[in-house]
C-alpha cells in the first residue's frame, strides 16, 4: 500500500473530529478491523496509520448510523458473523452471487457432500468467483486460493494475496504490510474482512 493511501492517526483524529478514546472503543467493538491499524516506524518513533479511503468511509458510516443504532448493533452489521449463516447452493445461484461453473468447481475440489453452505465457505467461493471471472487466476491457482481461504475460515480476516514469479503462483494470507522482491508480480490482493462485508450486504 503506497504511503499516499495511508493516513496517520493524528491526521485522522483532526480530520474527523473524533477522540482517541472513541477510535479505540470502536476498535474494541470490532467496528474498525484490527488489520486497519498499521504500525510503522517514523523518525519520531512508532506511529499508527490507516488505509485512508477505508477508514474515512467507515467513520462516516459509523457517525451517520450511531443516532439510530447501538455500537453492538453496528458491530453486527460491520463484522459478518461467518459462523451463523446457513444457505443452500440453490439460493447462492439464484441470488447470482456464484455462477454454476464456479460452484461446480468448488464442489469438485472440496468434495462437498451436502447442500448447506456456512458463510466461511460462501466467502471462499465468492472470492474465487471474482478472481476466476476477472481472469486474474487460472483454475489450478483457483484450487490453491480455495485451500488457503478455507483453512483461514475460522478468522476470515487478513489479506489474501496471490503472487506469481516466473509463471509459478503462490497464495498467502497476511496481516499488515508486506514487501516483495521485484521479480514477484502481485496478481491479487483482497481484504477478506471487506469481501465478507460486501458479501453480507448482498445476502441481506
**Domain 3-78: CATH class, spelled out:** mainly alpha
The contacts of residue 87 (CB under 8 Å, 6+ apart) are 116, 117, 119, 122, 203
For residues 125 and 98, is the Cβ–Cβ distance under 8 A? yes
Residue 44, pLDDT score: 77
CA distance 172 to 178: 11
CA distance 99 to 133: 9
Domain ranges of the chain: 3-78, 87-203
Residue 131, pLDDT score: 93
3-state secondary structure at position 88: strand
CA distance 76 to 73: 5
For residues 162 and 168, is the Cβ–Cβ distance under 8 A? no
Continuous segment of H or E residues that includes residue 56? helix 52-65
Ranges of beta strands (E only) in 30-158 are 38-42, 45-51, 87-88, 116-117
Residue 82, pLDDT score: 46
Continuous segment of H or E residues that includes residue 136? none
pTM of this prediction exceeds 0.95: no
pLDDT tens for each residue of the chain, 204 residues long: 555 689 999 999 999 999 988 998 898 888 888 889 998 888 878 899 999 999 999 999 888 888 777 877 777 667 655 455 678 888 888 888 899 999 999 999 988 888 888 878 888 999 999 999 899 999 999 999 999 998 887 777 788 999 999 889 999 998 877 888 888 999 999 888 888 877 876 775
For residues 185 and 196, is the Cβ–Cβ distance under 8 A? no
Beta bridge partners of 168: 165
Cα atoms in the 13 Å half-sphere on the side-chain side of 61: 14
For residues 99 and 129, is the Cβ–Cβ distance under 8 A? yes
Amino acid at each position: 500500500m503506497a504511503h499516499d493511501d495511508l493516513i496517520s492517526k493524528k491526521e485522522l483524529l483532526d480530520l474527523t473530529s473524533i477522540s482517541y478514546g472513541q477510535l479505540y472503543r470502536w476498535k474494541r467493538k470490532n467496528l474498525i478491523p484490527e488489520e486497519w491499524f498499521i504500525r510503522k516506524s517514523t523518525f519520531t518513533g512508532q506511529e499508527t496509520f490507516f488505509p485512508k479511503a477505508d477508514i474515512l468511509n467507515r467513520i462516516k458510516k459509523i457517525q451517520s448510523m450511531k443516532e439510530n443504532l447501538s455500537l453492538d448493533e453496528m458491530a453486527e452489521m460491520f463484522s459478518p458473523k461467518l459462523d451463523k449463516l446457513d444457505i443452500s447452493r440453490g439460493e447462492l445461484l439464484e441470488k447470482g452471487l456464484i455462477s454454476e461453473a464456479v460452484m461446480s468447481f468448488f464442489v469438485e475440489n472440496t468434495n462437498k457432500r451436502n447442500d448447506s453452505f456456512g458463510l466461511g465457505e460462501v466467502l471462499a467461493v465468492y472470492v474465487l468467483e471474482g478472481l476466476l471471472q476477472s481472469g486474474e487466476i487460472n483454475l489450478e491457482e483457483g484450487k490453491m486460493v480455495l485451500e488457503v481461504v478455507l483453512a483461514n475460515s475460522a478468522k476470515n480476516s487478513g489479506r489474501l494475496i496471490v503472487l506469481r514469479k516466473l509463471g509459478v503462483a503462490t497464495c498467502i494470507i497476511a496481516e499488515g504490510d508486506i514487501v516483495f522482491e521485484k521479480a514477484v508480480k502481485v496478481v491479487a490482493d483482497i481484504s477478506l474482512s471487506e469481501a465478507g462485508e460486501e458479501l453480507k450486504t448482498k445476502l441481506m
